[in-house]
Amino acid sequence: MELEINDKIVKTALVGIVAVDQDGNIISINESAISILSNEPLSADELIGRSYLDVFLKGNKFTHTGQYTSALIETLETGEPCLQKELSYRNKTLLVDSSPLIDDKRKVVGAISIFRDITDKRILEERLRQAEKFAAIGQLSAGLAHELLNPLTVIKGFLQLYEKGDMQGTESWRILLDEVNKVSRLVNDFLLLTNPSAPKYQSISLQDLLVDVANEFASVAEHKQIQVHLDIETNFPDIMADLHQIRQVMVNLLMNAFDCLSPGGEIRIRSIRDNETIILSVFNNGPVIPNDIRPRIFDPFFTTKDHGQGLGLAISYRIVENHRGHMFVESLEGKGTTFTIQLPIR
């Protein structure tokens, strides 16, 4: 009765099940396996005893790259199981598990494979990825168009005045040049975001970099009456990174912190080592980031400020990612906001 039930389970299972003996000949195969592996109306009875390799793989044991064409044959020859292996088979994508076939005496007598066709799932996932890409492109394009419109409107207005002969004085030309520079910076930032250059790795002293960046903001801190503290571990190791890109990240984070603070505010720049990782953080005790906004702060062109394009944090995030690092934010009421960067030392 138990054998009968097991046989029915195998035959009616929605996944493909194939078993072969030590010579690679089929000893069991269910209808789901046949429908997945063959386009011909074959029956299990006519397949029993035939070579799995010859019937379904036309004798091709290896791909052109030297990989096994079948997890079942791989397990049969190596004695090792294959778990959740994704294989291409006749324009299909199969997810396969295979293991040695063992009899009641714990003797290996062949191999068994259980698999399912995940082609439709992979096609749907690819379509979703493409849809997400196009949606992201649309959002980026809309943001870029919106930000370009303001300076272009000013430029157009001044050129219309020039055409009428009403544009006079160097001040008008200065304003026009400023607007052109805004467009140039915006386009350059957009290119950095969408197609960043690969990091030019070199050994850099983070201690020197952090001190240098903090000094750069010293006059701003004095003017806005904001305290800036540096907390750097002693004997801090040099790291392999792109000096200019990491500097840009720190400048962006400090600019963001200064924009959040009123006179009397505090910024704390901290760096510590955690095994083979460097952790940098920029804290400010200004207003917290609301929960509904926090998931979007690294999105391109997202900003809550009256000025700026909302590209600084997005670019910083991308730079850190390209350095095989991570960047995240924590913002708690009564405690302030901390942007944290994790970078590998090497």
Would you state the structure tokens that stand for residue 236, as one six-digit string?
A: 């801090």
* Cα–Cα distance measured from residue 146 to residue 151, given in angstroms and rounded to the nearest whole number: 10
**Using an 8 Å Cβ cutoff, are 17 and 33 in contact?**
yes
Domains 2-117 and 202-344 share a fold: no
Which CATH number among 1.10.260.40, 3.30.450.20, 3.20.20.80, 3.10.580.10 corresponds to the domain 2-117?
3.30.450.20
CA proximity to 72, closest of 16, 151, 142: 16
Whole-angstrom distance, CA of residue 337 vs CA of residue 259 = 13
pLDDT along the chain (346 residues), means of 10: 57 88 93 90 90 90 87 93 90 92 89 93 83 65 69 76 69 75 72 72 88 87 88 82 88 88 90 86 88 80 67 84 88 86 87
- What's the CATH fold of domain 123-194? Helix Hairpins (1.10.287)
3-state secondary structure 28-74: EECHHHHHHHCCCCCCHHHHCCCEHHHHHHCCCCECCCCCECCHHHH
DSSP per position, 314-326:
HHHHHHHHHTT-E
pLDDT score at 115? 94
Q: Which fold has domain 202-344?
A: Heat Shock Protein 90 (3.30.565)
Q: How far apart are CA 178 and CA 155, in angstroms?
A: 10
Q: What is the dihedral of CA 202, 207, 209, 215, to 10 degrees?
A: -170
Query: What is the model's pLDDT at position 231?
Result: 87
| Dihedral angle sign, alpha carbons of residues 44, 46, 50, 55 | negative
Q: Which two tokens mark 69?
A: 């064409």
Q: Would you kindly state where each structural domain of the chain is located, as residue ranges? A: 2-117, 123-194, 202-344
For CA atoms 329, 332, 333, 337, the dihedral sign is negative
Q: 342 with 279: CB under 8 angstroms?
A: yes
In this structure, what token pair is assigned to residue 187?
A: 């386009």
State the pTM of this model. Answer: 0.52
Measured distance CA(306)–CA(201) in Å, rounded:
36
Q: What is the pLDDT of residue 138?
A: 65
